[in-house]
Amino acid sequence: MADILYTYKNQVYANITNRCDCSCTFCVRSLKDSVGDSETLWHKTEPTLEEILAAIDAFDFTGYDELVFCGYGEPTCALDNLLASAAYVKEKYHISIRLNTNGLGNLYHKRNIIPELAQVIDSISISLNAPTAEKYQAVTRPQFENAYPALLEFASLANASFKHTQLSIVDVLPADEISACQKIADERGIYLKIRKYS
């Protein structure tokens, strides 16, 4: 079985699914099979909730104050397991929970999932990736045609619900696109994280 919990740069991550509704051109999944101390992040079968909880209990959280749901898939595609395992960690280990997401969860589930997420997740990082719908479609290749406006709506709803919400881009974008993304974030009062591409 693939690693469910893994560490990378002094942070612990939960890899609860390989399902994803995007096929990003830059996705690390197409470059290598593992990240950090994991052997592989490709699951032979999707992890059950019991397997996820067992992996959580087997991990020593000493020295960690946050668990990040982020792996070789989009965590909200495994929404029930995400909610249940985040609640379990909060109650048993008393650490913060962060969700790294593509922000398409409402589109995928055809309903607003943010109230459920906000009950168990403290902070959320949403991949913006591009300053226009056209560029977004080209780089993330989502299953949906209307993904970009849905992502922006998701981000605004999230910003009203979580202790910390951020949009993220990588620093390989041209300067004019970074400025346009900054404007999009500023207009919504959301912090923009410009990540180093690695």
**Closer Cβ to ligand SF4, 102 or 159, answer by number:** 102
With contacts defined by CB under 6 A, name the span among 19-27, 82-90, 105-113, 162-170 that binds ligand SF4: 19-27
> Rounded to an integer, what distance in angstroms lies between the CA atom of residue 106 and that of residue 113?
6
**Closer Cβ to ligand SF4, 81 or 102, answer by number:** 102
With contacts defined by CB under 6 A, name the span among 20-28, 38-46, 59-67, 91-99 that binds ligand SF4: 20-28
| Residue 102 near ligand SF4 by CB under 6 A | yes
**Closer Cβ to ligand SF4, 128 or 157, answer by number:** 128
* Listed residue (34, 40, 110) closest to 79, CA to CA: 110
The single residue among 11, 24, 164, 193 that binds ligand SF4, judged by CB under 6 A, is: 24
| Residue 3 near ligand SF4 by CB under 6 A | no
Residue found under tokens 């910390």? 164
Tell me which residues in 105-164 interact with ligand SF4 (CB under 6 A): 140
Tell me which residues in 35-94 interact with ligand SF4 (CB under 6 A): 73-74
Burial of 172 (0-12, 13-18, 19+ CB in 10 A): exposed
| Residue 95 near ligand SF4 by CB under 6 A | no
Strand order in the sheet with 66-69: 5-8, 11-14, 66-69, 96-101, 123-127, 164-170, 191-195
Closest distance of CB 77 from ligand SF4, Å:
9
The single residue among 27, 54, 138, 160 that binds ligand SF4, judged by CB under 6 A, is: 27
> Which region, left, alpha or beta, applies to residue 10 given φ > 0 means left and ψ of -120 to 50 means alpha?
left
Give the residues across from 165 on adjacent strands.
124
Taking every pair of Cα atoms in the chain, the longest distance, rounded to a whole number of angstroms, is 47
| Cβ–Cβ under 8 Å, residues 167 and 192 | yes
How many CA atoms lie less than 13 Å away from 48 in the CB half-sphere?
3
> Rounded to an integer, what distance in angstroms lies between the CA atom of residue 73 and that of residue 186?
28
| Residue 103 near ligand SF4 by CB under 6 A | no
Closest distance of CB 19 from ligand SF4, Å:
9
Tell me which residues in 178-197 interact with ligand SF4 (CB under 6 A): none
Binding site for ligand SF4 (CB under 6 A): 20, 22-24, 27, 29, 73-74, 102, 140
